[in-house]
Structure 1
């Protein structure tokens, strides 16, 4: 399937299980693969036949900078749901949300949750 990729989107938000995360906040990085046929927009060169990258970013920003959630898994599910709600051509999406420097014991560069969802017909 064809894809539009939005890579390395950065958001400052207040998600997490620990109170410090909810109070201080931290950076989150989101990568998204939006799967749908690019044939029609590729032939027409018309934005109305595609998914606007800026609009997709705003949908994801609304979730990421919105209501705090405990789990990356919940964030990813909500992002996917909002993308399907917003863009009827979207057939499937892969969402990866990365949290750098998680406040858990040990040494980590980051932790992440990645989901792949297909549109329910």
Structure 2
């Protein structure tokens, strides 16, 4: 299966269980891998035969920056739902959301969730 890969998209959002997270916000980083058939786009050089990843970026940005969730699991679920709804030629999406400033005492790069969802047929 062909893929469009979107790596390390950075956003500022207000997701988390703690009041400080809801009030102050923090950085979130998102990877999205879009699975779809790119053969026609490759043969025709036609944007209409693929997915405009700039528009997918805007869909993800809207969820991260304009919505608020306690859990990054809920954020990921809604990103997947919106992308699959708005871009029906995407067969499967894999989304990873990283939270580098998670409120955990200890040394770490980030805490993350990864979700994989497919288009309902």
Shorter-chain-normalised TM-score: which range? over 0.9
8 A Cα contact 2:69 2:75, kept in partner: yes
- Scaled by the length of structure 1, the TM-score of the pair is 0.97
Alignment gaps of 5+ in structure 1: none
Quick check: 2:41–2:49 contact (8 Å CA) kept in 1? Answer: yes
Counterparts of 2:87 and 2:49 in 1: how far apart (Å)? Answer: 11
Does the CA-based 8 Å contact 1:102-1:108 persist in structure 2? no
Partner residue of 1:55?
A: 55
1:101 CA displacement: 2.0
Match of 2:71 in 1: 71
Partners of 1:11 and 1:28 within 8 A in 2 = yes
In the TM superposition, what whole-angstrom CA distance separates every residue of 1:20-56 from its partner, at most 9, and x where no partner exists? 0001100000000000001010111000111001000
Contact 1:101–1:108, Cα closer than 8 Å, also in 2:
no
The Cα of 1:88 is off from its aligned counterpart by 1.3
> Offset of 1:103 from its aligned partner?
0.9
Per the alignment, in what secondary structure is the counterpart of residue 66 of structure 2? coil
Q: Distance in 2 between matches of 1:24 and 1:59?
A: 23
* Number of equivalent positions: 121
Is 1:117 the counterpart of 2:117 in the alignment? yes
Q: Scaled by the length of structure 2, what TM-score is found?
A: 0.97
Residues 53-102 of structure 1: per-residue CA shift (max 9 Å, x gap): 10000000010112210111101110000001110101000000000021
Equivalent in the alignment of 2:86: 86
